[in-house]
Structure 1
Amino acid sequence: MPWLFVLIWSTGFIVAKYGMPHAEPMTFLFLRFAGVVVLMVPFVVLARVPLPRRDGHVDWAMIGRIALAGLLLQTGYLGGVWAAVKLGMPAGMAALIVGMQPLLTALISLRLGERLRGWQWLGLLLGIVGVGLVVAGKLSAGSATPFSVLLAVGALLSITVGTLYQKHRCPVFDLRMGSLIQFTAAALACLPWMFLFETREVDWNLEMVGALAWSIVALSIGAISLLFVLIRRGAATSVSSLMYL
């Protein structure tokens, strides 16, 4: 399962490369998240998947926590990265910044009482070096603006906090209903940014449709479901370190 997650997750920047020329960041992400919701609603309804409940009543507090984790893992992370690249940051630099996520997760996890073995630290450090070597030839800081750097750092913080928050505050929930809640919240969160800062124009062609379809089915439904399972089963640092592979 970890290797399948890594394989699918690694296609994220490829999707951005093919999708970004045809739609602005939040517009594309809204279509992506809304597409997931449209596909999942029939399955959730037909399977009669219940909302999170506690003591016989709908647990609105848990629903809120699940939604917040979704905002951090989806809108905050993806929106920050896509917007940074759209504003001129080289994809290699964006990858290097968000590639610090496993190390940041490890440092925060130590404060939360999670133990790391020596080999885990070694793996994290080797991963950082590997990311640096891979993207070193692609860095072009001259085209990155302070605001684009701020967006990328915000994306880094968002996925780090989101991973830890879901691990500790909502570790167990039905993946079908939980995913529906998260992607609904993520889609709604895109709307203000779309209407305030974007034209909402989409260049519909085969490349755009292919990128959108892959991002909905493989990345948002496939990879994110696997990520949720891995977060539930393992330590937050171990899950985060998979992103170096």
Structure 2
Amino acid sequence: MPWVFVLIWSTGFIVARYGMPHSPPLSFLAMRYALSILCFLPWIAWAGVKWPASRAQWLHLSVVGVLMHAGYLGGVWAAVKAGMGSGLSSLIVGLQPVLTAIWLSAMGGAQGQVSRRQWLGLLLGFAGLVLVVWRKLVEGSPGDQANAHNLAYAVFALFAITAGTLYQKRFVQACDVRTANTTQLIAAFVVTLPLAWLEPEAMHFTAGFMGAMAWSVLGLTLGGSSLLYLLIQRGAAATVASLMYLVPPCTALMAWLLFREPITALTVAGIALTAFGVSLVVRAPR
């Protein structure tokens, strides 16, 4: 399940490359949330699964939805749309595992124990991530630029997904992934839609836009987001967060296959170092 999640989640930047030129970010995401909800509702009715039992769980799931859907995705897509390159955005969001580990260590307790081996793995994984995105950081493209505007979006996305992961692990009780994900998406849609109305750019329903939207709904939301929910529920927060290190290397491989973006020896070394670092984090203790 973790490897399937990494492969699906890695397609996020590929989808952005196809879809974002044809739509403003929040309008795209609002439609993605709405279509995902429409897909989940018949599935829930057909399966006869139960919705969250208490108002408290509805509230907790809604908070997670606002953080991990509206906050994280909205921040990343807005940063890239505002001119930030995918290398820098990947690097900033890639700080999530370290930020999660710092919080867990500060809180202490059984859930907050991060071993020395895991700390080493987190640091090695981040070093590998730097190597993977180094070429994009150095070369960039004519449209790439970092400024206070898009940096604020990216940092907001980083804190949103970190807080969402920790909040879900702490407050959300185990329930059916379909109703849980739908509750999160409803909250994200309610928050995102008014902001999407403020975007001056119109959506253009091209083939690229329709393909990106279809995969965003069926692959990333119904598949990737559901797997992320299950992983957080079943695993330690630091271990799950470390899987995010593997997303940029997988994205680099996909970009090489789909767009012929070059892979250098530095990229290969970064992929190997990242994989080794993550293996130290997720490996069960003796």
TM bin, normalised by shorter chain, reads: over 0.9
User: Measured at CA, do residues 38 and 142 of structure 1 come closer, stay the same or move farther in structure 2, by a change above 3 Å?
Assistant: closer
Using structure 1 for the length normalisation, give the TM-score: 0.94
Q: Which residue of 2 aligns with 1:243?
A: 244
Q: Which residue of 2 aligns with 1:81?
A: 76
Q: How many residues align?
A: 239
User: Matches of residues 87-102 of structure 1 in structure 2 within 5 Å?
Assistant: 87-102=82-97
**Matches of 1:21 and 1:177, distance apart in 2:** 32
Q: Which residue of 1 aligns with 2:176?
A: 174
Q: What whole-Å deviation, never above 9, does each CA across 1:152-178 have from its counterpart, x for those lacking one?
A: 000000000000000001041221111
Alignment match of 2:189 (pick from 182, 187, 204): 187
Contact 1:80 1:151 in 2 (8 A): yes
**Matches of 1:194 and 1:107, distance apart in 2:** 34
Shifted more, 139-148 versus 3-12: the winner is 139-148
**Matches of 1:11 and 1:205, distance apart in 2:** 19
User: Matches of residues 1-245 of structure 1 in structure 2 within 5 Å?
Assistant: 1-53=1-53, 59-113=54-108, 114-139=112-137, 140=140, 143-196=145-198, 198-199=199-200, 201-245=202-246
Shifted more, 157-166 versus 117-126: the winner is 117-126
Q: What whole-Å deviation, never above 9, does each CA across 1:32-76 have from its counterpart, x for those lacking one?
A: 1111101011111223323222xxxxx112101101101100010
Using structure 2 for the length normalisation, give the TM-score: 0.81
**Matches of 2:154 and 2:208, distance apart in 1:** 26
- Measured after TM superposition, the shift of residue 206 of structure 1 is 1.5
Amino acid at match of 1:217: L
Q: What whole-Å deviation, never above 9, does each CA across 1:151-204 have from its counterpart, x for those lacking one?
A: 1000000000000000001041221111111111111211111112x1362111
Q: Which residue of 1 aligns with 2:268?
A: none
Contact 1:27 1:200 in 2 (8 A): no
Shifted more, 22-31 versus 111-120: the winner is 111-120
- Measured after TM superposition, the shift of residue 108 of structure 1 is 0.5
- Structure 2: stretches of 5+ with no match in the other structure: 247-286
**Matches of 2:44 and 2:118, distance apart in 1:** 38
Name the SS for the 1:89 alignment partner.
coil
- Measured after TM superposition, the shift of residue 111 of structure 1 is 2.1
CA RMSD of the aligned region, Å? 1.4
**Matches of 2:150 and 2:201, distance apart in 1:** 20
**Matches of 1:9 and 1:122, distance apart in 2:** 24
**Matches of 1:184 and 1:115, distance apart in 2:** 34
Amino acid at match of 2:97: P
Q: Percent identity?
A: 48
Amino acid at match of 2:11: T
Contact 2:85 2:144 in 1 (8 A): no
Q: Which runs of 4+ in 1 moved over 3 A?
A: none
Contact 2:26 2:74 in 1 (8 A): yes
